[in-house]
Amino acid sequence: MTITVDVREQVRQRANFACEFCGVTEIDTGGQLTIDHFQPSTKQGSDNLKNLVYCCIHCNQYKLNYWSTHANDPVLWNPRHEPHSKHFLELKDGTLHPLTPTGTFTLKRLRLNRSPLVAHRLQKRQHTEEMSLLTRYQNTIELIEKMHIQLSELIGEQQKLLKEQKRLLTLLFENWH
């Protein structure tokens, strides 16, 4: 069986154009990614959408046709069934730390701590931090602008008061004479 263009497109869009195992996107890699059969076709995996995962070439190559057939076989993380956070913790240095036996096995099998991927995570993290700093900076500028407006309003009020005071003093002075 072959995967139709329409199904391929559905898998791409569902995955938001990123590898469902490691997160690299089509933009990162400069091209479309591959379609992986979570349960390999060679091991009775179907072409059903439920069994298809959008996957970068590296994850696909490392995964190959792994499928746990025996009860004691380690189970590979299925990104379509469980969230990333259930099995992995991203550390500050950009590496993933496994939280479950499935996490440990998947990390090893798919080499999810391969150095370009760690560098990619760090870059993404840095970008997020820069964006949040930029937002904070923009908010501060807005606040300063508001304060300037309020300050010039206050100065205007003060000038009016001074004028009034001057007028009263002039009146007082004239009457005194």
Please check whether residue 63 is in contact with residue 112, taking contact to mean a CB–CB distance below 8 angstroms. Answer: no
Q: Which of 59/76 has CB closer to Zn ion?
A: 59
76 binds Zn ion (CB under 5 A): no
15 binds Zn ion (CB under 5 A): no
> Total residues at the site for Zn ion (CB under 5 A)?
5
Q: Which of 39/62 has CB closer to Zn ion?
A: 62
19 binds Zn ion (CB under 5 A): yes
38 binds Zn ion (CB under 5 A): no
Q: Which of 21/77 has CB closer to Zn ion?
A: 21
Q: Where does residue 116 rank: exposed (0-12), middle (13-18), buried (19+ CB within 10 A)? A: exposed
Alpha-carbon span 169 to 157, nearest angstrom = 18
Q: Which of 6/109 has CB closer to Zn ion?
A: 109
Q: Where does residue 68 rank: exposed (0-12), middle (13-18), buried (19+ CB within 10 A)? A: middle
Pick the stretch among 12-20, 63-71, 138-146, 163-171 that binds Zn ion (CB under 5 A).
12-20
Q: How many residues does the chain have?
A: 177
56 binds Zn ion (CB under 5 A): yes
Minimum distance of Zn ion from residue 62's CB (angstroms): 9
- 88-90 vs 52-55, strand pairing mode: unpaired
Q: Where does residue 15 rank: exposed (0-12), middle (13-18), buried (19+ CB within 10 A)? A: buried
- Choosing from 52, 59, 76, 96, the residue that interacts with Zn ion (CB under 5 A) is 59
Minimum distance of Zn ion from residue 141's CB (angstroms): 39
Q: Which of 57/131 has CB closer to Zn ion?
A: 57
Residue 37, φ and ψ in degrees, nearest 5:
-90, 115
Q: Which amino acid is located at 46 in the chain?
A: S
Name the residues that contact Zn ion, by CB under 5 A. Answer: 19, 21-22, 56, 59
